[in-house]
Each structure stands twice: as C-alpha cells, then as structure tokens.
Amino acid sequence: MPDPAVVAIPNGQFVQNCYLVADPATGKAAMIDPGEESERILAELDRRGWTLDAIWLTHGHIDHVMGVGDVLRRRPVPVWLHPLDRPLYDNLSQQAAMFGLRVPPAPPPTDEIVPGGQLALGDLRFDVRHTPGHSPGSVALVGYGRVFGGDVLFSGSIGRTDLPGGDTATLFASIEREFLTLPDSTIVHSGHGPDTTIGVERSTNPFLTGVYRLA
C-alpha cells in the first residue's frame, strides 16, 4: 500500500501547521487542523488536484480550528473532533477574544473521534490515540510511520499546559504512553515548527531527558 502524500502549510499569525494528507490512489484528502489562512490552504489542495474528503481536528484551540467555517462554506465535508474538546470548539469566539481577535463561531462538528478507533481516507487508515494534557480532547493520528500529534510534542519542546484544560502531569503521561511507545523512526508532524522523529525527541528533547522535567 502506498504511503500517504503529506503537505505541511505553516500559516497565520500563530504560525500553525495545517496538514493536507492524501490517498494517492484516489486523490481523496483530509485537512488536519485548518488554521487562519483557509484560502491559501484550499488553493494548495486545488493545485495538487486533490478532493477534500474530511476535516480532522487534533484539538479545539483557536489556531487549529479558526479556518473550519471558511473551509466548510466552500467544501461541505465531515468535521471530526474528540468530544472532550467540544467546549473549546464551541467557545471559539471567546478564545479569539483572549487574543484580541474576532472570529465567528464555527459550524458544529459532524463526527466524534473515538480513541482506539481509526479514521479512514480512501484506502488509508490512521489509528487514533487520546493524548490529553495540552487540552482534554487532544488526539494523535498514527499510521505509515507518521504521527500527526497536534500540540503535544514538538521538536525540542512540548505543548503548553497553561491554557484552559491543560495539565502538565497528564501531558507527560500522554507523551510516554502514546508517543514514546512508537518506533524511533516515526516522523512527528507537530502543530507548530518543523518535523522531527520519536528517536530524536527521546534522546535530545530536554523535557523528556529530564533537564526541564518538573512533573
């Protein structure tokens, strides 16, 4: 089975990574975490000739969901979100106000992401892992030697826990249980910053090696 095609699109004032993931056999694509620059993200989708099949949300923070409404107005597709992050998602306008922004409410998600289940894209299947700590309903999508991890683990860092619903001990537990059990060669597609691998983070990330660990 061929690997998925993956395109990272850093965008917006939060420099958030939106990912387009496509099944090369069918041209069907999922959009993971549509951020602020929805028109740019859709233009990249069209440039590659892919058909949007679904929106997958790793969590409900503003920088990862603020483009959902704009995308759906142009491409009505299912939106998948873990139910524990529904309160964050439903309060998008209030989240925006915390940063001095105005963002209208997003249309409600259509489907619930279920940990232990899978998300399908054409012939591709991604396993769902629940990774709370950055937010209650954060999830990681794992498959084909990759993990789309949202804001849980970054190159040389970890997700912040000072936002509503965050918890440092829970975040470390999620990383140890759901990330560090993956092979070292696994590519980590994070919500911000460059790609990394599980092996690199296991051996060099100061939050995982104990240099900065406080929990």
User: Facing residues of 6 across strands?
Assistant: 21
Do the beta carbons of residue 32 and residue 51 sit within 8 Å?
no
The model's pTM: 0.96
Can you tell me the mean pLDDT for 33-55?
97
Strand 28-32 relative to strand 16-22, pairing: antiparallel
Residue 182 has pLDDT above 80, yes or no: yes
Rounded-to-integer distance, Cα 15 and Cα 105, Å: 21
Question: With bands split at pLDDT 50, 70 and 90, how would you rate the model's confidence at 215?
Answer: very low
Rounded-to-integer distance, Cα 15 and Cα 154, Å: 13
Give whole-number Cα distances, 53 to 71, 77, 79, 135, 194, in Å.
12, 6, 10, 26, 26
Q: What is the pLDDT of residues 53-106, one digit of tens each?
A: 999 999 999 999 999 999 999 999 999 999 999 999 999 999 999 899 999 999
Rounded-to-integer distance, Cα 192 and Cα 206, Å: 17
Residue-range domain boundaries for the chain: 5-209
Strands (E), the chain: 5-11, 16-22, 28-32, 51-56, 79-81, 111-112, 118-121, 124-130, 139-143, 146-150, 153-154, 157-158, 187-190, 196-197
Give whole-number Cα distances, 91 to 9, 107, 212, in Å.
25, 11, 32
* pLDDT at residue 1 in the model: 59
Task: Give the type of residue at 28.
Answer: K
Question: With bands split at pLDDT 50, 70 and 90, how would you rate the model's confidence at 110?
Answer: very high
Check if CATH label 3.30.360.10 holds for domain 5-209: no
Do the beta carbons of residue 64 and residue 33 sit within 8 Å?
yes
- Other beta carbons within 10 angstroms of residue 3's beta carbon come to 12
Percentage of residues in the chain with pLDDT exceeding 70? 97
